Structure 1
Amino acid sequence: MSKNFASHADLEEKAVSFDRLSDNAYAYTAEGDPNTGIVIGDDAVMVIDTQATPVMAQDVIRRIREVTDKPIRHVVLSHYHAVRVLGASGYAPEQIIASEDTRDLIVERGEADMASEIGRFPRLFRAVESVPGLTWPTITFRGTMTMWLGSLEVQLLQLGRGHSKGDTVVWLPQQKILFSGDLVEYGATPYCGDAYFTHWPATLDAIAALKPEKLVPGRGAALTTPEQVEEGLRGTRAFTSELFELVKQGVAAGKDLRTIYKDTYAGLKPKFGHWVIFDHCMPFNVTRAYDEATQYPDPRIWTAERDLEMWRQLEG
Structure 2
Amino acid sequence: MSLEELKPGIYAWVQPDGTWWLNNAGAVAGDDGMLVVDTCATAARTMRFLDALPERPIRWAVNTHQHGDHTYGNSLLPVTTVLIGHERMREGLRVDPIIDGCPPFWQPVPDWGPVSRRLPDLTVTSDLTVHVGGRRVEVRHPGRTAHTPGDLIAWLPEERVLFAGDLVFAGLTPLVFMGSVTGALDAIDWLAALDPEVLVPGHGPVQTGDGIARVFDDHRRYYRHVLSVAAAGMVDGLTPLAAARRADLGEFAGWADAERLVLNLHRVYADSEGRDLDLVAALADATAWLGGPMRTAV
What interval of TM-score do these two structures reach, taking the shorter chain for normalisation? 0.7 to 0.9
Alpha-carbon distance between aligned partners in 1 of 2:163 and 2:197, rounded to the nearest angstrom: 11
Indicate how the Cα distance of structure 1 residues 63 and 238 shifts in structure 2: closer, same or farther if over 3 A, else same: same
Aligned to 2:32: 43
Q: Where do 5+ consecutive residues of structure 1 fail to align?
A: 1-15
- Residue type of the partner of 2:96? G
Q: How many Å apart are 1:254 and its aligned residue?
A: 2.3
Contact 1:192–1:288 (8 Å) recurs in 2: yes
Structure 1 CA distance, aligned partners of 2:8 and 2:103? 35
Check whether the contact 1:248–1:293 (CA below 8 A) recurs between aligned residues.
no
Name the Cα RMSD after superposition.
2.2
Q: Does the residue aligned with 2:268 lie in a helix, a strand or coil?
A: helix
Residue 285 (str. 1) matches residue 268 (str. 2): no
Amino acid at match of 1:272: F
Residue of structure 2 in register with 1:154 after alignment:
137
Q: Assess if the C-alpha contact under 8 Å between 1:95 and 1:139 holds in 2.
A: yes
Distance 1:300 1:54 in 2: 30
Kindly provide the amino acid, as one letter, of the partner of residue 35 in structure 1. Answer: N
Q: 1:184 aligns with which of 156, 163, 168?
A: 168
Between structures 1 and 2, the one with greater helix share: 1
Query: Displacement of 1:57 after TM fit?
Result: 0.8
- Which residue does 1:302 correspond to in 2? 279
1:55-204 equivalent positions in 2, closer than 5 A? 55-64=44-53, 68-93=54-79, 94-107=81-94, 109-111=95-97, 113-114=98-99, 119-121=104-106, 125-126=110-111, 128-132=112-116, 134-160=117-143, 161-204=145-188
**TM-score, normalised via structure 1 length:** 0.83
Question: Aligned partners of 2:109, 2:163: CA distance in 1, in Å?
Answer: 21
Q: Matched residues in 2 for 1:276 and 1:51: separation?
A: 20
Letter in 2 for 1:282: L
What pairs up with 1:228-307 in 2 under 5 angstroms? 228-264=211-247, 267-268=248-249, 270-279=250-259, 281-296=260-275, 299-300=276-277, 302-303=279-280, 306=281
Any conservation in 2 of the 1:215–1:224 contact (CA below 8 Å)? yes
- Aligned residues of 2:32 and 2:56 also touching (Cα < 8 A): yes
The answer as to whether partners of 1:98 and 1:141 remain within 8 angstroms in 2 is yes
- Equivalent position amino acid for 1:288 in 2: R
More strand by share: 2
Q: Deviations over 1:37-93 (max 9, x none)?
A: 1111222122111001222111112221xxx21112222110001121001122225
Query: Which structure 2 residue ranges, 5 or more long, are not aligned?
Result: 292-298
Residues of 1 paired with 2:287 and 2:155: CA distance? Answer: 41
* Cα distance, 1:122 vs structure 2: 5.7
- Tell me if the contact between 1:50 and 1:88 (Cα under 8 Å) persists in the aligned partners: yes
Q: Which amino acid aligns with 1:28?
A: W
Separation of aligned partners in 1, 2:109 and 2:58: 23
Amino acid at match of 2:12: A
Q: Percent identical across equivalent pairs?
A: 26
Q: Encode CA deviations 1:212-262: one digit per residue, 9 max, x unaligned.
A: 11110011000122x111112111222122112211121123223332121
Q: Is the 8 A contact 1:50 1:86 kept in 2?
A: yes
| Alignment size in residue pairs | 285
Choose from 13, 25, 30 the match for 2:10: 25
Deviation at 1:301? 5.7
More deviation in 170-179 or 239-248?
239-248
TM-score by length of 2: 0.87
Partner of 1:192, secondary structure, is: coil
